[in-house]
Amino acid sequence: MVLFWTPWTLAWSALAVLTFVVLLFRVAPYGRHQTGSAGPTLPHRVGWIVMETVSPLLLLLVGGRALGWHWDLLTAPHLLLFGLWVAHYIYRAGIYPFLARWKNRRMPVLIMVSAIVFNLVNGSLNGFELALRPPPDAGSPAFLLGGGLFVLGLAINLQSDVILRRLRRPGDRGYAIPEGGLYRWISCPNYLGEYLEWVGFAIMAATPAALTFALWTAANLVPRALAHHRWYRQQFAMYPRQRKAVIPLIL
């Protein structure tokens, strides 16, 4: 780890662990788990774009401010780390919502607000620490391994998104059993891919904030994958029995 843990990153990590436990018992109410009791709602696409745009914006604003706006002080590996984060969110906030089949779907305002807080803190902490960290050694085994994991995770996430999208025709809102890719082994390869991306990023960045973000990603996505898996088994009598939730053969 190239930077010290601060009370902020420690407290934020502790909250991730607490959130993990809460989400094991209470599924975040959006998508298939949405109930009528989650309060006021807004169009899903609008909520998604707003909440996901916050993260790269704060990364660049806080990172830029920490540098006194002297982006020229950064080395190429620094810029790569900023670039990977921003590229991920250009897809997640600017492309994914326009490809997703979300006809008439609405999102609880509560979900959007909690995701904004999540992205605000993670974007800010990561922008600050990436800007201040010493230049990463782009040739080190850790940096290369992390980069490989990030790319692998991105590929799995994108492939899984395509498979899910093809399950619905435009205007359709139903659910079907996904097949192909890593769906042969697990119910939520999109979540596994996302997780590998952020573990890879944390290895490359080697900062407490990046490690904390990987922890938060697991805190959000592992309980949700378990809930999706249970839901599939309840909905589809023919659901493949050997399929696990999120880690092939294990979980």
Ligand X SMILES: NC(=O)c1ccc[n+]([C@@H]2O[C@H](COP(=O)([O-])OP(=O)(O)OC[C@H]3O[C@@H](n4cnc5c(N)ncnc54)[C@H](OP(=O)(O)O)[C@@H]3O)[C@@H](O)[C@H]2O)c1
Does 191 interact with ligand X (rule: CB under 6 A)?
yes
| 118 contacts 125 by C-beta, under 8 angstroms | no
Question: What gap in Å lies between CA 25 and CA 74, rounded to an integer?
Answer: 43
Q: How far is the CB of 140 from ligand X (least distance, A)?
A: 26
By CB under 6 A, the residues from 22 to 81 that bind ligand X are 31-32
Closest to ligand X by CB, 76 or 176: 176
Does 239 interact with ligand X (rule: CB under 6 A)?
no
- Strand ranges inside the chain, DSSP E: 41-43, 106-108
Question: What gap in Å lies between CA 79 and CA 91, rounded to an integer?
Answer: 18
For 169, other C-beta atoms within 10 Å of its C-beta total 8
For 122, other C-beta atoms within 10 Å of its C-beta total 24
Does 155 interact with ligand X (rule: CB under 6 A)?
no
Segment near ligand X (CB under 6 A); pick from 13-21, 66-74, 145-153, 220-228:
220-228
Q: How far is the CB of 72 from ligand X (least distance, A)?
A: 31
Segment near ligand X (CB under 6 A); pick from 58-66, 73-81, 132-140, 187-195:
187-195
| 116 contacts 155 by C-beta, under 8 angstroms | no
Site string for ligand X, 76-115 (x = CB under 6 A): ------------------------x-x--x----------
Instruction: Look up tokens 């540098």; give the residue.
Output: 67
Closest to ligand X by CB, 136 or 193: 193
> What is the size of the binding site for ligand X (CB under 6 A)?
20
Site string for ligand X, 200-219 (x = CB under 6 A): ----------------xx--
Question: What gap in Å lies between CA 148 and CA 141, rounded to an integer?
Answer: 10
Question: What gap in Å lies between CA 144 and CA 109, rounded to an integer?
Answer: 40
The DSSP secondary-structure symbol of 244 reads B
Binding site for ligand X (CB under 6 A): 31-32, 100, 102, 105, 157, 164, 167-168, 175-176, 178, 190-191, 194, 216-217, 220-221, 224
